[in-house]
Amino acid sequence: MGGWWVKWAAINDALYWRVLRANPELMRRVIRLASENVNSGGGGPFAALIVKDGAVVAEGVNTVFASNDPTAHAEVNAIRKACAALGGFALRGCEIYTSSEPCPMCLAAIYWAHLDTIYFGNGCEDAARAGFDDAYIFRQLSLERAKRAIPSEQLLRDEALESFRLWEASPFKREY
Ligand SMILES: [Zn+2]
């Protein structure tokens, strides 16, 4: 008895705490950073903050133009800085504030980093209207491999499996 109720209560409790912890001042700070990034010409109109226990651990802005790096999105830059600051490759217990809903690459990076919560300002549709490909890439990912715009083909799987076999037995193997 009470199984579903306990689950429901736990989910509601989690939502309650998330909403309670959301800090509009931090969102205003990333929005301001994103606008400053436009004016400085370093990259797109994006910024992100990583927060742990209410304190900002790292700030990142989009530096695609400045670094000629198509992966230098605000969230990825912030994750790299936060990991360097905290000395680890996981950000459990941290939250990310981002001026725009994470694109597929950044969303995946957020999963790899094991961040707890995402707060975003602009939505994916707003980014699409501003000329960014987020929504297009999300749709591409939902297609079967053969139907995607960029073709991909598997080659030499048997030989490639060698590195996985080595990993299984490696003393350097770590969960991430
Ligand atoms: Zn991104």
Tell how far the Cα of 16 is from the centroid of ligand 1, in angstroms: 27
pLDDT of 40 reads 95
Centroid of ligand 1 to alpha carbon of 104 (angstroms): 6
Cα of 72 from ligand 1 centre, angstroms: 8
Ligand 1 (ion): residues with CB under 5 Å are 73, 103, 105-106
Given the structure tokens 């995946």, which residue do they identify? 108
Residues in the chain, pLDDT under 50: 1
pLDDT at residue 21, rounded to an integer: 80
Catalytic residues: 75
Residue 75 DSSP class:
H
Q: What angle in degrees, to the nearest 10, is found between the helix axes of 104-113 and 134-142? A: 70
pLDDT value at residue 2 = 56
* Radius of gyration (C-alpha) of the chain in whole angstroms: 19
Compute, in angstroms, the gap from residue 50 CA to the centroid of ligand 1.
Answer: 15
How confident is the model over 29-39, as pLDDT tens digits?
999 999 999 99
Distance CA 75, CA 96 (A): 8
Running DSSP on this structure, what letter comes out for residue 145? G
**At residue 58, what are phi and psi to the nearest 5 degrees?**
-155, 150
With H, G, I as helix, E, B as strand and everything else as coil, classify residue 114: coil
User: Other C-beta atoms within 10 Å of 70: how many?
Assistant: 8
Alpha helical stretches, state H, 22-98: 24-40, 64-67, 74-86
The pLDDT tens digits of the residues spanning 11-29 come to 666 666 655 689 999 999 9
Structure tokens, 88:
């680890």
83: helix, strand or coil? helix
Scanning the chain, the segments in alpha helix (DSSP H) are 3-21, 24-40, 64-67, 74-86, 104-113, 124-129, 134-142, 157-169
Residue 18: predicted pLDDT:
59
